[in-house]
Amino acid sequence: MSGGVDSSVAAALLKEDGYEVTGVFMRVWQPDFLTCSRTDDREEAMRAAAHLGIPFLTFDFEKEYKEKVVDYMIAEYTAGRTPNPDVMCNKHIKFRMFLDKAREMGADMIATGHYVRLGRESPKPKAQSPNKTQNPKSQTNSKFQLLKGIDVNKDQSYFLWTLTQEQLKYCLFPIGEYVKPKVREMARKYGLPNAERRDSQGVCFIGQFPMKEFLKNYIPEEKGGVLDTGGNIIGVHDGARLYTLGARHGFLVTKKTPNDPPHYVVAKSIANNTITVAPRDAEQCVTTRGTTQKTNLVKTGYIQETGLTEVNLISGEMPVAGKTYSVRFRYRQSLQEATITPSETYNISRFCFCSAETQNRGSSIRRPRFTRVESGQPTIYNIQFRAPQRAVTPGQSLVFYDGEECIGGGVIQ
């Protein structure tokens, strides 16, 4: 129980269904230079648990959270990538450490306030209706499915692509069947003291504090040039590592008129400490060389193909070759069509401006490091989008869907 409405309603629903429920607050690391919100969060969770008449515990994961989530995030930004700390929190803390500790203490299941649903697929592949109260011991011949939440605006499957069959069989997601207004209505019906509490925003351990300002405490500020797509210096920034593709704030464009549209980061060079910016959907001439030279007018910052590593397939089954799946590489992004192909190499087809250091990477690139899934297959994948995509950001999660089912995901290279 985080102190929010969603996890409190999840606890209320489970108690109403006859479960013996214990509320657990997870204490995680927060930086010393920020006002700590976890005391208020814990008090709200305690009040909700007391109102429901259920036991309340606190699990301390500060050390593990700092190592597995925060240190990882800082290292990724230092390397020039943009990680997703919420995905890492779910992977290492909520569905590993919390699950393991709860099981060690005798719990049969854990439940969270995520907006997702749990489904089952029988040995003969046929999707079943979600069943949130199923005993895992009776499902040994079935595969679990992670399904999108009913509320399309709150669906959180994007953050849970790292889950496995072994974890899902001990999970319940009570509010995944409901839309947020209904959850809020149920909170009022149950008389929960936090029924009107606002939803949390931002990364869990820093809240609404700007990520760039947080990172400046760990990554030295290093002024550098802002470039246009022609390589001309048009402004200044605080350090290339602090910016992500698609960002439009935090840098200064000096050579700009009042009528110019906003500029977005379309490329960056850690080696040269530069970022390249352009107006959204700006077009540029790109010449391709082959048997004949051809010049095309393409949108700046768009690509149609990318590589993926650290792939997890929730069912353990490989994607069907040539099949079109739905994918997203940002939370709440509309789903995009793409094919997913296992490969130890991938070809970067960039329908965009590329810096000199990325132009040299235009052909097939071998990735020597990869992990394996249960089937023993390498988890390097080539993602081919049906349409060019903007701001496909290295380090972010790209998640696969087959209809309502989230089948897995990986980290963009």
Q: Which sequence spans correspond to the domains of the chain?
A: 5-189, 221-280, 302-412
What's the whole-model pTM score? 0.84
- Position 344 scores a pLDDT of 62
Q: What is the third-level CATH fold of 302-412?
A: Elongation Factor Tu (Ef-tu); domain 3 (2.40.30)
Top-level CATH class of 5-189? alpha beta
- Position 140 scores a pLDDT of 56
- Position 330 scores a pLDDT of 96
**Does 113 belong to an annotated binding site?**
yes
- Position 31 scores a pLDDT of 86
Residue 167 Cα distances to 95, 118, 145, 290, 385, angstroms: 7, 12, 11, 50, 30
- Position 377 scores a pLDDT of 54
Q: Which amino acid is at 377?
A: Q
- Please, what is the average pLDDT of the chain? 85
- Position 138 scores a pLDDT of 47
**Averaged pLDDT for residues 259-281:** 92
More confident residue, 277 or 299: 277
Residues counted in the chain: 413
Residues 6+ apart with CB under 8 A from 2: 25, 26, 41, 45, 113, 200
Beta bridge partners of 355: none
SS (HEC) of 23-51: EEEEECCCCCCCCCCHHHHHHHHHHHHHH
More confident residue, 278 or 360: 278
List pLDDT tens digits, range 330-358: 999 999 999 999 976 444 333 333 333 33
Any idea what DSSP says for residue 227?
Answer: E
Is pLDDT of 298 > 90? no
Strand blocks (E) in 256-380: 263-269, 274-279, 283-288, 294-299, 302-313, 324-328, 336-342, 345-347, 364-366
**Does 318 belong to an annotated binding site?**
no
Is pLDDT of 149 > 80? yes
- Position 281 scores a pLDDT of 75
More confident residue, 202 or 296: 202
- Position 283 scores a pLDDT of 63
List pLDDT tens digits, range 202-243: 677 777 788 888 999 999 999 999 999 999 999 999 999 999
**Residue pair 82/393 in contact by the 8 Å Cβ criterion:** yes
Is pLDDT of 383 > 70? yes
Residue 245 token pair:
């593709």
- Position 289 scores a pLDDT of 42
Read off the pLDDT band of 259 (50, 70, 90).
confident
Burial category of 291 from C-beta neighbours within 10 Å (exposed 0-12, middle 13-18, buried 19 and up)? exposed
- Position 280 scores a pLDDT of 84
Report, as residue numbers or ranges, the catalytic residues: 89, 204
**Residue pair 214/232 in contact by the 8 Å Cβ criterion:** no
Strand blocks (E) in 140-254: 143-148, 171-172, 224-227, 233-237, 252-253
List pLDDT tens digits, range 3-62: 999 999 999 999 999 999 999 999 999 888 876 566 789 999 999 999 999 999 999 999
Read off the pLDDT band of 359 (50, 70, 90).
very low
Output the CA torsion sign for 324, 329, 330, 331. positive
Is pLDDT of 93 > 90? yes
- Position 87 scores a pLDDT of 97
- Position 374 scores a pLDDT of 44
Residue 241 token pair:
């590592």
- In CATH, the architecture of 221-280 is Roll (2.30)
